[in-house]
């Protein structure tokens, strides 16, 4: 990616609209395909899938955007360790979201995705506080609100992917046990 690229408020809002549209399709598909009973048994597959997805995301992000974005937000020492930290922290977060989801009335698939989106907004509020839209030249001048809004829909998408992977693992486990798909 060229170093002189500029991420504007408009780009962030278009990204939010793209992720929102994708979520509007993806979440109902997951609600249709994943059984509520299966979600209740997806505790460990969700933890593993979350670790793999977030390790991949952070490995890619740090590998491609350390110099242009993340070095302005994080101290230098964790650069190598952030993907590894994600492998430990993300499963714990997924277990927390899974546990919280099971205590809230409603469709657990929808709730899990919405909680993932809310978590994304919270992490980006922290990132805005740390200077994500004011320090990196690539993002200077972009709206902090747009950075938080895109995070909601972006993280919903990530948690859909996590649910998909966990659902595949749970489905394979059910097949091996001879349970109904």
Boundaries of domain holding 116 = 9-172
Structural contact between residues 114 and 156, judged by C-beta atoms closer than 8 angstroms: yes
177 inside domain? no
- Sequence-ordered list of residues with C-beta below 8 angstroms from that of 22, at least 6 positions apart, any chain: 153, 157
Structural contact between residues 150 and 104, judged by C-beta atoms closer than 8 angstroms: no
Is a pLDDT exceeding 70 seen at residue 181? no
167 inside domain? yes
- The mean predicted confidence, pLDDT, of the chain is 93
Q: What's the confidence (pLDDT) of residue 5?
A: 85
Q: Distance between alpha carbon 58 and the CA centroid of its chain, in Å?
A: 10
38 inside domain? yes
Computed from CA positions of residues 62, 63, 68, 74, in that sequence, does the dihedral angle turn out positive or negative? positive
What are the tens digits of pLDDT across the range 91-122? 999 999 999 999 999 999 999 999 999 999 99
pTM reported for the whole predicted model: 0.92
Count of domains forming the chain: 1
Q: What's the confidence (pLDDT) of residue 3?
A: 60
Q: What's the confidence (pLDDT) of residue 172?
A: 86
24 inside domain? yes
Is a pLDDT exceeding 60 seen at residue 1? no
**Span 158-163, mean pLDDT?**
98
**Span 152-176, mean pLDDT?**
93
Rounded-to-5 percentages of helix, strand, coil across the chain: 75, 0, 25
């Amino acid at each position: 990616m060229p170093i002189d690229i500029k991420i504007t408020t408009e780009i962030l809002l278009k990204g939010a609209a793209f992720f929102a549209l994708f979520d509007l399709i993806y979440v109902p598909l997951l609600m249709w395909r994943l059984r509520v009973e299966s979600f209740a048994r997806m505790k460990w597959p969700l933890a593993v899938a979350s670790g793999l997805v977030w390790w991949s995301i952070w490995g890619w992000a740090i590998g491609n955007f350390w110099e242009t974005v993340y070095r302005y937000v994080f101290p230098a020492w964790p650069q190598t360790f952030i993907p590894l930290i994600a492998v430990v922290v993300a499963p714990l977060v997924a277990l927390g979201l899974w546990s919280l989801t099971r205590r809230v009335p409603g469709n657990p698939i929808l709730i899990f995705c919405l909680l993932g989106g809310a978590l994304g907004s919270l992490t980006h509020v922290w990132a805005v506080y740390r200077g994500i839209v004011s320090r990196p030249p690539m993002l200077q001048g972009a709206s902090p609100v747009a950075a938080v809004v895109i995070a909601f829909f972006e993280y919903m998408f990530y948690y859909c992917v996590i649910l998909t992977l966990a659902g595949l693992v749970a489905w394979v486990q059910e097949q091996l046990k001879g349970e109904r798909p």
